[in-house]
Amino acid sequence: MITIQTPAGPFTMTGDGTNVTAAVFGTELPEGWAVPGEVPDKAVAAVRAYFDGDLAALDAVAVAQHGPAYLAQCWDMLRTLDAPITYTRLAELTGRPAAVRAAAQGCARNRVALIVPCHRVLRTDGSLGGYRWGLEVKRQLLAHEAAHRR
């Protein structure tokens, strides 16, 4: 397990030597989450590169989290996003346009913050909605991405 300082606050990751299995803004994993383990060096380098302005750096980081098939589909879809979308659009992209609440659960149950970018999902009216790590962190991440988007 490793904690690095970022402009959005401390960022803690754990892994299995190959994949990042949990990542949080803060210094401790929530109870019941992944057991502290080895984080791949390239994951640490990618997070630092992201905060230096290379938004695509996180794309190459391998992650592993477990959940129902639809949540896994949401997590996979989130990794393809390069700009904010709504929960409604996320549901549409997964092929289940009526599953807006289930898509929101994909964001809420994401254990790999930043790398699986659930912070890029907004309410239909464009407001931030929720974020497990706080709306100020979500706001900072979205502003950082807007400033470095190509």
Q: Write out the catalytic residue numbers.
A: 118
81 burial class (0-12, 13-18, 19+ CB within 10 angstroms)? Answer: middle
CA pair distance 64, 41, nearest whole angstrom: 16
3-state helix, strand, coil in the chain (%, to 5): 40, 15, 45
Backbone angles phi, psi at 88, to 5 degrees: -60, -45
Contact between residue 33 and residue 23 where contact means Cβ atoms under 8 Å apart: no
